[in-house]
A = this chain, B = another copy of it.
């Protein structure tokens, strides 16, 4: 999928590329959606264990927040298919797929946001912020850098998402999110 920059692949493409037997791939995953879900579950699990690690670090909540923003944007940039996959599974397929996306991706991430925000508030670094609204704005804004770009790049002056664009967007999102939720104490920490 990375090679083709598309999730439009068939089980037999996958079998051929991996050297596996197409029937075996089908036996394992049932169908293409089953394979895509297994892939999402695997990659999401890696990302979620990174979040647990981040939360346990002996650093300020503000530092964790900034690392998290950069982490999300970098993960989307490194695995562009994750973004397309989530959109595909939410749109194309049964209600069951939306449940799975929720289980592997939305619910753990939202839970992480709840705990990070509560920690930041208890330490006096963050203002009280609704985790669901926070999740929606942060994930929506990060997702859109990758999802909307091919339509945007038809508008004047909008190029592809390069490493440099990612760096700029990380800085932009840090400014918005920190500007929106840090207390004065949090701002003093963010300013170093």
Contact = CB atoms under 8 A, between A and B. Distances in A.
Contacts of A144: 136-137, 139-141, 143-144
Interface string A147-177: 1101110111110000000001100110111
Interface in A114-151: 129-130, 132-145, 147-148, 150-151
Interface stretch (A27-35, A60-68, A100-108): A100-108
Contact of A176 (B106, B151, B177): B177
A44 to B, nearest CB: 13
A71 to B, nearest CB: 17
A99 interface: yes
A41 interface: no
Contact of A180 (B139, B151, B175): B175
Interface in A76-126: 87, 90-91, 98-99, 101-103, 105-107, 110
Given A102-B151, A138-B141, 6 more contacts: A98-B154, A107-B155, A110-B158, A130-B168, A136-B141, A176-B176
15 contacts: A87-B87, A91-B91, A98-B151, A101-B151, A102-B151, A107-B155, A110-B158, A130-B168, A132-B152, A133-B168, A133-B169, A135-B152, A140-B140, A140-B148, A179-B181
